[in-house]
Amino acid sequence: MVNLTRIFGCALLVGVALGHPGGHDRSNAMSHNDRRAFRTRARRSLDACSEKLEQDRTLHRAAVKRADVFRKHGKRGLSRRDTPTVLATDHSVEVDASVLENPHDLDVTLFESPTACIVFPEGEIGPFWVKGEHIRDDLIDDESGVPLHLHAQFIDVNTCKPIPDLYMDVWNANSTGVYSGVQSPMNGNPADDSNLVKAALRGIQKTDEDGVATFKTLFPGHYGGRCVHVHVVAHLNAELLPNNTLTGGSVSHIGQLFFDQALVDEVEKVAPYKDNTAIITTNERDHVVNYETADSESDPFFYYTLLGDSVEDGILAWITIGVDATQDYETQCGAELGEDGGKMCEITGNFGIPGGFPGGPGGFPGGPGAPGGPGATPPQQP
- Confidence band (pLDDT; 50, 70, 90) for 99? very low
The three-state (H, E, C) secondary structure of 236-278, written as one string: ECCEECCCCCEECCEEEEEEEEECCHHHHHHHCCCCCHHHCCC
- Name the most confidently modeled range: 55-64, 114-123, 139-148, 185-194: 139-148
- d(CA 293, CA 121) in angstroms, rounded, equals 9
Of 164-178, 233-247, 297-311, 356-370, the least confident: 356-370
Q: d(Cα 318, Cα 320) in Å, to the nearest integer?
A: 7
Assess contact for 110 and 93: CB atoms under 8 A: yes
Rounded (10°) angle between helices 58-73 and 32-55: 80
What percent of the chain is modeled with pLDDT above 70? 58
Nearest to 213 by CA among 223, 221, 203: 203
Which residue ranges form the domains of the chain, and what is each CATH number? 32-79+114-182+197-337 (2.60.130.10)
Of 5-14, 100-109, 150-159, 357-366, which has the strongest mean pLDDT?
150-159
Instruction: Using the predicted structure, report yes or no on whether residue 260 has a pLDDT greater than 90.
Output: yes
Q: How many CA atoms lie within 13 A of 150 on its CB side?
A: 34
Q: How many C-beta neighbours within 10 Å does residue 285 have? A: 12
Parallel, antiparallel or unpaired: strands 130-131 and 202-206: unpaired
Say yes or no to pLDDT of 381 above 80: no
pTM for the full predicted model: 0.76
Band the pLDDT of 370: cuts 50, 70, 90: very low
pLDDT (tens digit per residue) in 285-316: 999 888 777 766 667 889 898 998 899 999 99
Does residue 242 surpass a pLDDT of 50?
yes
306-310, 340-344, 363-367, 371-375, range with the lowest pLDDT: 371-375
| 166-175, 216-225, 291-300, 359-368: least confidently modelled range | 359-368
